[in-house]
């Protein structure tokens, strides 16, 4: 196995120039035809012979104890096989990718917690019977209002420890200009369109779980832990996943429920969570309270910057929304304070939802920069330019690649930023006030340990295998492109197998690390194959030229198939974490621009156009990368204007747990969106030279919309979303 440690720049043989034109091209998704013809199999499709169906009974109270369950009416429903009320392995909530969920039957710590399972011949019978299960509980007072709880400033949880460099109070007291404002963002649902669903079956003591999940290697371990069996006996399948957005990074209760139910009835069991149960059983993004303080001189040069926040979690969750993740290395300033305090609530757990941290942290920091620019009479881009750091302002490390200024310049030029009028409310078309806004985007980059196996077959075709998932992001296609580029093959000569826990373990899809980590593993495996081809050609790998299924060295040209000598050539590559060892500070960057119209009579906001310029290292596929970026920008519109999960603070229940009332941006809300990439291969990030793109597009997108609203009408809303009642 070729292991790739990043302790310096990496220039893989065969990939330095990407001269085949396979990598980076806007290749359409290779699994697209399977999806549109209905042959791609998702978790809840095509049940095996004899499948039964499960439904989950949940707690109506938000805190307290279950003291009795009467299942007699449910058991009397035709088609009901069993009502399970006594299995202590019942998960109380979802797990995350690092931690198994708490299990147990009687103690309730949020409304909507699973308390029993109904298994029936049909989903209809299971659902009907679940409604007839009578749960008797003893309610206790609950902490249902995150905003009313006192923060713990010393919780020690989460992956971003507090940062406190220099004396903030003195620096602010001495600054010529002091900025101090507070911002709030609401709870958000991850809201993947494909349901959280599982089909599970046992073959003797071996369990197969076909589930909708982003990180199946971790899921396998979690499921095994909860069921108390060896993980070698669990196989997890997720060949196609219809969106995850963080909600499927861990194991949902439905996956374990399906396994428990299948064991009990001795048949395969399928379950798809209804949307209203999804809201409480799947984690949501914490609401945030944030405060930005900046001390600068009259020219806007920042000497001190502080981003303080408070987020929520329940007793059993361990995730802490890393609010300042995007603001940490964004601007200069010697005195720096970034912290995330925690309140404990009796509500469903909070967890990673697309772009944990910067999706909401950038509302505060990027609106604050806009406000500060206005206060100083500076153009918002100019203020940012004056505070662009030379090196990582905290660690002092050099940036691997950082083209943020180029993103501002290219974006401003393409968007027509020079047409912005600095005075709010100055541009009017009938009843509509028109404004332009911008924001920076930044997402920290990680490469995570990941393996991939590449096999060159005797027919000259290539097979790529890894337990990586494709959650709609384009993994199948980009891994085919990486292997095709390295081995001189078109994409249709490469087959990619994903989503099976028996394949080499990858990092899965999350944290924007999937493509670069799995892609680097494919690069490393291909380098081993190149080395072997070199031996067979008596040449160094760098001398080989691979084109159109043939290997050339000088005048010699041999088909790949012939070089296999009748035996497949197989190699496994293993990418290793890069950012820590490379000595560089790594992030993806971008600039977001928005034009909005605000109705002067009704306060209605229409986003008219958006444009983003992003720097993401090597672009693996222009089409799928653009899909990621534009999808993030759409989400930014929704976060700015619509999305808000409302907790009824009397009961601890969500008041709007479905798409009828939890509003996301739909086609009518989304204007033409343009995205452009500045490509610079990041040779210190990982072997494939790519940085994360998945979560970059949402970073700053909502702030650009909010800043455009201020420019349009002069109203500054710091409590998101910016609904029309806050503008009139
Ligand atoms: Mo992401 S929120 O790590 O899927």
Helix spans in 146-214 (H): 168-174
Residue whose structure tokens are 């006996």: 233
Helix-helix angle 475-487:514-537, to 10 degrees = 20
39: nearest Cα among 239, 270, 272: 239
Helix spans in 290-442 (H): 358-376, 380-386, 404-415
What is the helix (H) or strand (E) element at residue 458, kind and residue range? Answer: none
pLDDT in tens, 267-310: 999 999 999 999 999 999 999 999 999 999 999 999 999 999 99
In this predicted structure, the answer to whether residue 98 has a pLDDT above a threshold of 80 is: no
- Ligand 1 centroid to 150 CA: how many Å? 28
Report the pLDDT value the prediction gives residue 481, as an integer from 0 to 100. 98
- Ligand 1 centroid to 245 CA: how many Å? 6
Complex-level ipTM = 0.97
Report the pLDDT averaged over residues 669-688: 95
- Ligand 1 centroid to 92 CA: how many Å? 22
Domains along the sequence of the chain with CATH = 2-40+447-577 (3.30.365.10), 52-141+190-281 (3.30.365.10), 383-445+582-726 (3.30.365.10)
Partners of 136 in beta bridges: 68
End-to-end CA distance of the chain: 63
145: tokens are 């209002």
521: nearest Cα among 468, 573, 481: 573
Report the pLDDT value the prediction gives residue 579, as an integer from 0 to 100. 67
Pairing of strands 234-237, 206-211: parallel
Report the pLDDT value the prediction gives residue 14, as an integer from 0 to 100. 76
pLDDT in tens, 315-358: 999 999 999 999 999 999 999 999 999 999 999 999 999 999 99
Report the pLDDT value the prediction gives residue 37, as an integer from 0 to 100. 95
Q: How confident is the model at residue 17 (pLDDT cuts 50, 70, 90)?
A: low
Alpha carbon nearest to ligand 1 atom 4, residue:
246
Counting ligand 1 atoms within 8 A of each CB, the residue from 510, 514, 692 with the most, and so the one to mutate, is 510
User: How far is it, in rounded angstroms, from Cα 120 to Cα 82?
Assistant: 7
Question: Using an 8 Å Cβ cutoff, are 480 and 448 in contact?
Answer: no
In this predicted structure, the answer to whether residue 105 has a pLDDT above a threshold of 80 is: no
Report the pLDDT value the prediction gives residue 50, as an integer from 0 to 100. 97
Residue from 366, 465, 485, 695 carrying the catalytic annotation: 695
417: tokens are 């930023």
Is residue 489 exposed (0-12), middle (13-18) or buried (19+ Cβ within 10 Å)? buried
Q: How confident is the model at residue 103 (pLDDT cuts 50, 70, 90)?
A: confident
What is the helix (H) or strand (E) element at residue 637, kind and residue range? Answer: helix 622-641
Mean pLDDT score across all residues of the chain: 96
- Ligand 1 centroid to 573 CA: how many Å? 24
Report the pLDDT value the prediction gives residue 411, as an integer from 0 to 100. 98
pLDDT in tens, 361-401: 999 999 999 999 999 999 999 999 999 999 999 999 999 99
In this predicted structure, the answer to whether residue 578 has a pLDDT above a threshold of 80 is: no
Catalytic site includes residue 643: no
Report the pLDDT value the prediction gives residue 190, as an integer from 0 to 100. 96
Counting ligand 1 atoms within 8 A of each CB, the residue from 212, 352, 515 with the most, and so the one to mutate, is 352
pLDDT in tens, 190-212: 989 999 999 999 999 999 999 99
In this predicted structure, the answer to whether residue 542 has a pLDDT above a threshold of 90 is: no
Residues with CB under 6 A from ligand 1: 214, 244, 246, 249, 352-354, 356, 510-511
Percent of the chain scoring above 90 in pLDDT: 93
Q: Nearest 5°: phi and psi at 290?
A: -130, 150
345: nearest Cα among 61, 58, 62, 699: 62
In this predicted structure, the answer to whether residue 102 has a pLDDT above a threshold of 90 is: no
Residues 6+ apart with CB under 8 A from 21: none
């Amino acid at each position: 196995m070729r292991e790739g440690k990043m302790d310096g720049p990496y220039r893989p043989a065969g990939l330095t120039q990407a001269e085949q034109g396979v990598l980076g091209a806007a290749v359409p998704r290779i699994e697209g035809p399977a999806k549109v013809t209905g042959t791609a199999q998702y978790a809840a499709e095509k049940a095996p012979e004899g499948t039964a169906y499960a439904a989950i009974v949940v707690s109506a109270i938000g805190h307290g104890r279950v003291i009795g369950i009467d299942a007699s009416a449910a058991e009397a429903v035709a088609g009901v096989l069993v009502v399970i009320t006594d299995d202590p392995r019942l998960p109380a909530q979802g797990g995350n990718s690092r931690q198994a969920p708490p299990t147990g039957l009687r103690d309730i710590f949020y409304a909507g917690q699973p308390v029993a399972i109904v298994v029936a011949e049909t989903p209809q019978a299971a659902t009907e019977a679940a409604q007839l299960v009578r749960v008797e509980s003893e309610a206790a007072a609950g902490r249902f209002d995150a905003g009313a709880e006192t923060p713990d400033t010393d919780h020690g949880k989460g992956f971003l420890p507090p940062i406190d460099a220099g004396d903030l109070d003195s620096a602010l007291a001495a600054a010529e200009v002091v900025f101090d404002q507070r911002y709030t963002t609401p709870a958000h649902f991850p809201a993947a369109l494909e349901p959280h669903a599982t089909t599970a079956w046992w073959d003797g003591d071996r369990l197969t779980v076909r589930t909708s999940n982003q990180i199946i290697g971790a899921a396998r371990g979690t499921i095994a832990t909860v069921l108390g069996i060896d993980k070698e006996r669990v196989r997890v399948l997720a060949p196609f996943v219809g969106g995850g957005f963080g909600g499927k990074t861990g194991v949902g209760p439905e996956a374990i429920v399906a396994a428990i139910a299948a064991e009990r009835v001795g048949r395969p069991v399928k379950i798809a969570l209804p949307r209203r149960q999804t809201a409480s059983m799947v984690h949501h993004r914490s609401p945030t309270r944030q405060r930005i303080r900046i001390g600068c001189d009259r020219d806007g040069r920042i000497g001190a910057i502080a981003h303080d926040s408070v987020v929520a979690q329940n007793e059993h969750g361990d995730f802490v929304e890393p609010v300042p993740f995007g603001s940490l290395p964004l601007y200069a300033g010697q005195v720096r304070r970034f912290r995330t305090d925690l309140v404990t609530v009796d509500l469903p757990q909070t967890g990673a939802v697309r772009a944990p941290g910067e999706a909401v942290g950038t509302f505060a920091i990027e609106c604050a920069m806009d406000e500060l620019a206005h206060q100083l009479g500076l153009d918002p881009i100019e203020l940012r330019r004056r505070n662009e750091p030379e090196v990582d302002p905290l660690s002092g490390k050099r940036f691997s690649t950082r083209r943020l200024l180029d993103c501002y310049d290219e974006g401003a030029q393409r968007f027509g930023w020079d047409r912005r009028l600095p005075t709010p409310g100055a541009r009017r078309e009938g009843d509509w006030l028109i404004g332009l806004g911008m924001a920076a985007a930044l997402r920290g980059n990680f490469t995570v340990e990941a393996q991939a196996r590449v096999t060159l077959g005797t027919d000259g075709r290539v097979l790529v295998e890894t337990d990586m998932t494709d959650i709609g992001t384009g993994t199948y296609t980009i891994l085919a492109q990486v292997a095709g580029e390295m081995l001189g093959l078109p994409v249709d000569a490469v087959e990619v197998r994903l989503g099976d826990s028996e394949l080499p373990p990858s990092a899965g899809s999350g944290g924007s690390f999937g493509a670069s980590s799995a892609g680097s593993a494919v690069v490393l495996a291909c380098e081993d194959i190149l080395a072997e081809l070199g031996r067979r050609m008596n040449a160094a790998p760098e001398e080989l030229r691979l084109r159109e299924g043939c290997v050339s060295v000088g005048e010699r040209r041999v088909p790949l198939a012939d070089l296999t000598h009748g035996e497949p050539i197989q190699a496994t590559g293993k990418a290793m974490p890069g950012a820590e060892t490379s000595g560089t500070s790594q992030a993806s960057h971008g600039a977001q621009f928005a034009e909005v119209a605000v109705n002067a009579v009704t306060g209605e906001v229409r986003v008219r156009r958006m444009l983003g310029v992003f720097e993401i290292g090597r672009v693996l596929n222009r089409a799928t990368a653009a899909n990621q970026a534009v999808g993030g920008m759409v989400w930014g519109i929704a976060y700015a204007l619509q999305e808000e999960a409302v907790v009824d603070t009397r009961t601890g229940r969500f008041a709007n747990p479905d798409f009828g009332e939890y509003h996301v941006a739909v086609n009518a809300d989304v204007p033409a969106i343009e995205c452009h990439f500045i490509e610079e291969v990041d040779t210190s990030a990982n072997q494939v030279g790519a940085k994360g793109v998945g979560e970059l597009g949402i970073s700053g997108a909502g702030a650009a919309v909010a800043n455009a609203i201020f420019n349009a009408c002069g109203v500054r809303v710091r409590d998101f979303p910016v609904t029309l009642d806050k503008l009139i």
